[in-house]
Amino acid sequence: MRAVMDTPRDFLAALRRGRLAAGLTQSALAQKVGCKQSALSMLEHGSATAVSRETLARIADAVGVELPPEPAAAVLAAAAAAPPAGFAFCPDFECPTNMPYFVGSELLLLPLGSAGAGRHCAACGELLERACRACGAPVRRGCGCCTACGAPLVAAPAAGFAPDPRAWAAERRAAAAAFSKAFAL
Ligand SMILES: [Zn+2]
Ligand SMILES: [Zn+2]
């Protein structure tokens, strides 16, 4: 049989389709193959280094998809290759690529950037942004607000969105720290 997939993207899409066809949630599949749900999510969004070769083989086996003949690492690395130049960030405040912080009582988000994802966020699949929404100025790594106009790059959630915004922020910071470690952001 010819390699099932023509491109790494096809392969990753097939993994996802296979999982859905098997009636498995990401959590259920992750548990079955012994990886984290977040790693599986990253993998399905095209992140090359989300899981080990062994785990990838177990995932493919569990959802009935044939591994491409080439070393999977090379295949997946190609999937994540060549992101457009410049700093890109995810506009979703709940995404683990955005680190919540407080200035006084104001909740702000620091975009860590999205590694190896091309046009879409490696963590959540959202379309990435590269400029300030308010003024269009290019954005810089390490800034939560636009250096030209001061607008927050990632819109914070509305007041009252969580019963305890500081507890919410602490939880999201832990997720962001784990994500940035996994992706060396
Ligand atoms: Zn995201
Ligand atoms: Zn601006």
Q: What tokens appear for 140 in the block? A: 């810089």
Residue 90 within any structural domain of the chain:
no
pLDDT of residue 140: 81
Ligand 1: centre distance to CA 18 (Å): 24
Q: Are residues 118 and 59 in the same domain?
A: no
Ligand sitting nearest the alpha carbon of 93: 1
User: Smallest Cα–Cα separation from 95: which of 115, 111, 84?
Assistant: 111
Rg for the chain, CA atoms, rounded: 18
pLDDT of residue 14: 84
Q: Rounded to whole angstroms, how far apart are CA atoms 178 and 103? A: 23
- Domain end marker among 80, 110, 136: 80
Ligand sitting nearest the alpha carbon of 140: 2
Q: What tokens appear for 86 in the block? A: 């410049």
Neighbours of 48 (CB within 10 A): 23
User: Smallest Cα–Cα separation from 7: which of 109, 75, 57, 65?
Assistant: 75
Q: Rounded to whole angstroms, how far apart are CA atoms 104 and 102? A: 6
Residue 27 within any structural domain of the chain:
yes
Number of independent structural domains in the chain: 2
Ligand 1: centre distance to CA 114 (Å): 7
Ligand 2: centre distance to CA 131 (Å): 8
The answer to whether 127 and 51 are in contact (CB under 8 A) is no
Q: Rounded to whole angstroms, how far apart are CA atoms 155 and 16? A: 30
Q: What tokens appear for 13 in the block? A: 């899409």
The answer to whether 66 and 4 are in contact (CB under 8 A) is yes
| E strand intervals along 94-170 | 98-103, 106-111
Ligand sitting nearest the alpha carbon of 137: 2
Ligand 2: centre distance to CA 137 (Å): 5
Residue 92 within any structural domain of the chain:
no
pLDDT of residue 170: 94
Enumerate the β-bridge partners of residue 89: 129
Residue 1 within any structural domain of the chain:
no
- Domain end marker among 36, 51, 80: 80
Ligand 2: centre distance to CA 89 (Å): 14
Domain housing 114: 98-183
Ligand sitting nearest the alpha carbon of 176: 1
Q: Are residues 107 and 164 in the same domain?
A: yes
pLDDT of residue 122: 80
User: Smallest Cα–Cα separation from 117: which of 96, 140, 136, 99?
Assistant: 96
Cα–Cα distances (Å) from 97 to 2, 58, 124, 172, in that order, read 37, 27, 9, 10
- Domain end marker among 29, 50, 80: 80
Q: Are residues 76 and 117 in the same domain?
A: no
pLDDT of residue 4: 42
Ligand 2: centre distance to CA 136 (Å): 6
Mean pLDDT for each consecutive 10-residue tract of the chain (185 residues)? 51 85 91 88 74 83 79 55 68 92 89 73 85 87 88 90 91 88 71
Ligand 1: centre distance to CA 97 (Å): 6
Q: Are residues 71 and 24 in the same domain?
A: yes
